[in-house]
Structure 1
């Protein structure tokens, strides 16, 4: 059963006999074939076919008399599109008697089917319907073949692209890290065999993330492409150029000296320093920090990652030294030793956080007028693998540099409040002073964390004082002031630690809402023997008292110092003479007895 679309195909009836032609047309129309064209000679066939030159798929079947005037069927078939073009146009050739030789002669690019006269109308209709179905099937097969060819071509193209992407960066077209490392493996082998030198440059764009944040990822991608173009012009197609990170590039110079590498690195810095990246109405100045590592080293480079790591370390130091500069990796360089030390301590700090190697100690802060313990300062310590105690001066600076100080701050607050909650009723008067790093006051989450701990432990905020150093307080004034107000809103108090160390304290002391001022130990340690320190401490005390703030002297170590501090009017003292930092607290009576015993030197 033919579809309506199949019956709409154009059927050309080219019968030399007018009577037979009319009979054929009537039979086709009776069967539903109404899209018919009649040709009395070959010229008319050409005229009809010319109208379908650009849409041959609309043609159905040509019914043609072998004796049609001015028509050579074989030449006509050559004029028409053929099956190789996806167009199958069958001919029904009306012949008076069947001739095998004639059929072979008509073979070629088109398909020919003979119908011998006299023939029945039903025979013609069956043949027409069969050929229309066959035409559609062959066209479908052709489309499927073309689609398969297209898919195979697309797959080959995709495979080629994937093979390219396996070893190249999609954005910049540079080698990727994997491909660079494969090349470096070969270079290391050549170096071991022939002692040929090679130098790796690690290039990190300075403050790339700022442009990423301000202008968006698309602008940052465009910047990276332009930067790569600038560097390519600077290096003049030398070396293996790779992208190993979002804004990190590597350039390996085969069989190069360090001097030559330094020249190229300085040229890259200069070209980037001169380059300006413009987007909309903004113009950005781009610089880069470059680290250099050589295969020739006192310690043999065994793996590509090791060479990349050395260059990266040098690049990090270049950034720490001020950016927009070149730094050479050298194992004897003090900066590298410090960085190695930081890396060593970073693993120890992480281990201490994970395996509970930190612990708290408590040092009393004593009232100089009555010898009573006002509160205890909470101090953190670390236990080493051999159980020896490590002071915070060893690991806190590293934690601040390596971004681990936030975890330590949270740990101290958590454990200190838990400690207060665990004390028996007779010690419910105990108050603690907790040191917070300068980073903590730049992190809004710390206030919320303190509030959560206070709420869940049922500890009053008035039992906590948080200490911030003077230098940290003035480093980001607005943010610090906001955090101080948030913490004080919880009922906690604030102490300004290391007061006087920054020499700008008096200006900020009237602004920061703090309850305590802790005078820096450098003014206290030699107070008994230095009249200048006495004058400075006295002035600090007078100003603090005028502003309604209590003073605490740190590093109090001898009775004579206590006497001077009392005469000056300092409120509290803290130091080994009153008590060393200790893990355990005793009862209040023991506190008082201990304090009074120590304070006899005051009277």
Structure 2
């Protein structure tokens, strides 16, 4: 075979060895530039024996010979390795090739490809670092503005010095109200869009327009008051264009509704750096999966083909907790492993992409919903299996919510398919188990009903439609009421009593939980004062949501209402679920320590159902744990449940924590708990939650 033909085939910079027998090869073709450094005493046409060096090549021969024994046309590759030859380092790759029962070993010099790959990796590292810095700057500004909002509410004479905070920011900042009307914007935002200070309102309006046009899920973000981060592209004819990193955050104000904080940074340089390398343009740096831009193109191409497919959106849960507890390095390794698990579940015809920090998407070319659901449940199983990273130093777990839309039945528009999959994913109960949800017209109608209920919920706060019911908690030794759990109820005019399971998730998603939670604290303090006046000194426990714990004004609010009602703080208890503990350990630890300084006690609610909180118990200032009702319900008939309850009681005893069993409904459960020294219990065996007047009668009885 001539050198000219090799050149035409694009394999000029190579060495071709024809296999003769065993480890013997005939040097068929060689590039003199580096061939002699690898085989110094040989020439083209010589026979060479590979039984010692080069070492990596000799090792590859084992696989090559197995392949050649098959006598089928094709090739296998070794991958790139580095070969030291004197002072020179060669970047080589070997291929074992079979053609018409002849066998060849080809060595390629991939110095340029290697350098290009290393350059790509360096660019990727720089982009990851740059993105982290941008998000960190955004987070600093967000926290400062939230702190100022709290200061304004707690000290009426302090005005919100927004201008002082944002004027010097190097990136664009806009603050808009709940009606999307401009409140404030800084000079950097005008510069970002090449506008003059006289163009009042135009930068913020353009920003919102870009969001609504480029991100299908943006309307859902506004409706649910969620935090969000993504990239926008803006072009100003004839030649100006910019890429921007946008962070959108709700800022809650108890007295003036909520605001939106929009933080924008020009990342055009980083994007152009990406576009100089085609792979980085369309693929995620960390997982090597297609990115949002490429996924959207694939979605539109699939629509043009016209064959049925499912668009899946996967929202990974607890990733933030993994990053906070174990560090971002562990979080990144987990994401790579997660991506690899998903790769094993999709076919070569499907498209798997990473479209956001904790979001993945799949174009699943299936026609049957039943088959799609099977794959989705397999995804849930594999994603939720433990991750052992850093040479098994750390064991981590995450969850996933999967939303699915179906082409062409749900929509024939890429934007709507993504929006519907996002809506389906978001409809799965926050903080609940991992699950899959298919989009449906009923789901959309349910979303509209939720919006209507949210509007009514806002009115309920203003109109005083809430009421606290109390459920007694009994001391199992004395049989007397020792404390009570305060549970909110909503008496909606014209409809009747609405239970928290229906409206609390909406309050959580909309941000109304902050105002509702403060009402509960205020009302519980008032009821505690009434009980004190009646010489009834029992403890009232209140549930706190994750959003409330993150509210910087909460500690001061609790202190003020304890003092205003002249109640003994030792008769007030705050309950948090296990999931709250792992959300932000340092902040939770500080919060609980300050609560305990006031004299207020702390309980962990629904114990045994959360994530990884067991290791936190000795480190956090906790007084009680409440055994979840799911363990008590089958306590008598289930050996495993009995074992779990006994283990919790033993652990609590060693940590000197009190224990309350929830959901006690029959005498046999009560007898078992009392026999094994559980101090307290609550449940329908004793009483349902009742209005305050009825509770007072129970106390007197």
Give TM-score, length-normalised by structure 2: 0.43
- More strand as a share of residues: 2
Q: Which has the higher contact order (CA 8 A, sep 6+)?
A: 1
